[in-house]
C-alpha cells in the first residue's frame, strides 16, 4: 500500500467510485504524497526522460525560436518569458544561455516567470537557475500579462488529468470510474450514460487542460505560446503509467509512478481557436525547420570523439519519426495574425506560402 493508495481508498469508501481525473489528480498532485510533489520524475535515475533532459541542443533550439519570436513581436524592450511546467529547469537554463549569448538585448529585457505547481520542483529549478533573476507563479491567475509574453510548455499538457468514457451506443457513453473491491482498485462503469459527440470506443477528455488553455487565451493579450507534447489528432485510450522507463498498470503503486495521457491536438486548436492556432507539426519537422540539424553539425565539427556519438544519438532521438520525431508535436498560439511563427503554419498562412 502506498500513502496515495490509502488516501484513494479512504476517498472511495467515503464518497463512492471516483472518475479518472480525480484519480490522476490525487496520484500526481496530492499536496504531500502526489508524484510531482514527492518524487524525482526526470532523467535516467527517474521514471522518464524529457526532450530537454536528452540534450542541451533541444533547449538551445527553443532559445533560438524564442529569440526569433521576440524579433517578430517587434523587439519589445521589456517582455516576459513564461515557462509552464518547467520540471528541473533544464529547458529554461538552456534557453537563457542561448538568449544571453545570441541576443543580449533580448535577454536583458526579459522578465522570467516559471509557472510550477510543485514546491519540490521549484527548489530544483531555483538551484538550476541561480545565475538568473526568476519569479515563480503557482497558477495562471498569479501571472501578470501586462508585458508582451512568450510562453513555452514542454510536456505540460500531457500532465493534466483526463476523464475516460466507454461507448455503449452511438454517441452514448458510460464514464470509467475507479472503485475499491476485494482489497484492490478496480474499474467500474458509471450507471448513467452521457451523450458525447464522438465515435471511438474510448473517449478521453481533459477539463483541466481546457480550462488552462481558456484562461491562457483570455489573459495573453500580446504574445505567442508554444506547446510541445506527445499526442495526435484523435481521442482514444492513451492513459498510461510509467515507472523506471517502463509502462506499468495504472493501479501499480499510485503516487509512485507517473500518469499521463496523449494530447488531442484537435482539441487544443478548438479551445484556443483555429484562426489563431497553428497546425500541430511533428516535433522532428519543427526542429528541422528551426535548424536543429545545422546546430548539431556545428557541434559535431568541434566535438571530441567521445562527444560525437552523444550528439548523434540525441539528434536521432529528438528527430527520428520512430523515436520522438513523429509522436511528439509542436503547436503555437499567437494573439496577432500579422507575423509568422518559425517552424509552424497557420490557416491564414499555409505551409507552401510560409517564410
Ligand atoms: C512532465 S513534466 C515536464 C517537465 C519539463 N517541462 C520537461 O520537459 O522536462 C510536467 C511539469 O509540469 C508541472 N505541472 C503539472 N501541472 C501543472 C499545473 N497545473 N500548473 C503548473 N505546473 C504544472 C509539473 O510539476 C512538472 O514540472
Q: What is the per-residue pLDDT for 350? A: 60
Q: What is the per-residue pLDDT for 354? A: 47
Whole-number Å distance between alpha carbons of 39 and 160: 17
For residue 322, CA distances in Å to 1, 96, 158, 245, 282 come to 37, 30, 20, 17, 12
Whole-number Å distance between alpha carbons of 223 and 288: 23
Cell numbers describing residue 226: 508554444
Residue that the C-alpha cell 505547481 belongs to: 117
Q: Which of 122, 62, 72 lies closest to 96 in space, CA to CA?
A: 62
Q: What is the per-residue pLDDT for 352? A: 55
Residue nearest to atom 18 of ligand 1 (CA): 117
Whole-number Å distance between alpha carbons of 36 and 238: 20
Residue nearest to atom 27 of ligand 1 (CA): 87
Q: What is the per-residue pLDDT for 329? A: 98
Chain segment 34-70, per-residue pLDDT in tens:
999 887 787 777 888 999 999 999 999 999 999 999 9
Chain segment 78-103, per-residue pLDDT in tens:
999 999 999 999 999 999 999 999 99
Q: What is the per-residue pLDDT for 353? A: 46
Residue 34 Cα to ligand 1 middle (Å): 13
- Site to probe by mutation for ligand 1, drawn from 81, 91, 117 as the one with most ligand atoms within 8 Å of Cβ, is 117
Kindly list the structural domains of the chain, giving each domain's residue range(s) and its CATH number in brackets, ordered by start: 3-338 (3.40.50.12710)
Residue 172 Cα to ligand 1 middle (Å): 33
Average pLDDT, the chain: 94
Who lines ligand 1 at CB under 6 A?
A: 36, 42, 50, 52-53, 84-87, 91, 115-118, 121, 154-156, 159
Residue 118 Cα to ligand 1 middle (Å): 8
- Can you list the residues of the chain whose pLDDT is less than 50? 353-355
pTM for the whole thing? Answer: 0.95
DSSP state at residue 346: B
Whole-number Å distance between alpha carbons of 178 and 11: 11
Q: What is the per-residue pLDDT for 105? A: 97
Amino acid at each position: 500500500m502506498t500513502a496515495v493508495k490509502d488516501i484513494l481508498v479512504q476517498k472511495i469508501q467515503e464518497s463512492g467510485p471516483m472518475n479518472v481525473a480525480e484519480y490522476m489528480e490525487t496520484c500526481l498532485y496530492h499536496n504531500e504524497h502526489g508524484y510531482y510533489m514527492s518524487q524525482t520524475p526526470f532523467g535516467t535515475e527517474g521514471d522518464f526522460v524529457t526532450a530537454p533532459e536528452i540534450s542541451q541542443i533541444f533547449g538551445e533550439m527553443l532559445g533560438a525560436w524564442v529569440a526569433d519570436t521576440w524579433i517578430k513581436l517587434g523587439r519589445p524592450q521589456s517582455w516576459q518569458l513564461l515557462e509552464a511546467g518547467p520540471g528541473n529547469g533544464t529547458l529554461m537554463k538552456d534557453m537563457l544561455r542561448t538568449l544571453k549569448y545570441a541576443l543580449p538585448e533580448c535577454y536583458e529585457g526579459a522578465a522570467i516567470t516559471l509557472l510550477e505547481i510543485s514546491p519540490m520542483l521549484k527548489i530544483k529549478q531555483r538551484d538550476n537557475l541561480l545565475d538568473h533573476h526568476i519569479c515563480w507563479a503557482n497558477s495562471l491567475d498569479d501571472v501578470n500579462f501586462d508585458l508582451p509574453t512568450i510562453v513555452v510548455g514542454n510536456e505540460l499538457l500531457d500532465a493534466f488529468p483526463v476523464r475516460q468514457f466507454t461507448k455503449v451506443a452511438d454517441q452514448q457513453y458510460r464514464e470509467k470510474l475507479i472503485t475499491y473491491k476485494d482489497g484492490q482498485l478496480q474499474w467500474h462503469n458509471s450507471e448513467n450514460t452521457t451523450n458525447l459527440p464522438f465515435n471511438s470506443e474510448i473517449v478521453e477528455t481533459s477539463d483541466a487542460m481546457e480550462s488552462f488553455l481558456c484562461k491562457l487565451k483570455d489573459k495573453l493579450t500580446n504574445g505567442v505560446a508554444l506547446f510541445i507534447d506527445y499526442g495526435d489528432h484523435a481521442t482514444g485510450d492513451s492513459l498510461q503509467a510509467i515507472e523506471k522507463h517502463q509502462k506499468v498498470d495504472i493501479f501499480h503503486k499510485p503516487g509512485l509512478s507517473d500518469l499521463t495521457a496523449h494530447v488531442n491536438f484537435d482539441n487544443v486548436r478548438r479551445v484556443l481557436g483555429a484562426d489563431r492556432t497553428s497546425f500541430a507539426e511533428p516535433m522532428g519537422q519543427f526542429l528541422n525547420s528551426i535548424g536543429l540539424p545545422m546546430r548539431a553539425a556545428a557541434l559535431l565539427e568541434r566535438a571530441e570523439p567521445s562527444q560525437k556519438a552523444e550528439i548523434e544519438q540525441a539528434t536521432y532521438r529528438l528527430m527520428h519519426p520512430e523515436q520522438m520525431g513523429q509522436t511528439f508535436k509542436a503547436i503555437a498560439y499567437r494573439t496577432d495574425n500579422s507575423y509568422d511563427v518559425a517552424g509552424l503554419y497557420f490557416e491564414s498562412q499555409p505551409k507552401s506560402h510560409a517564410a
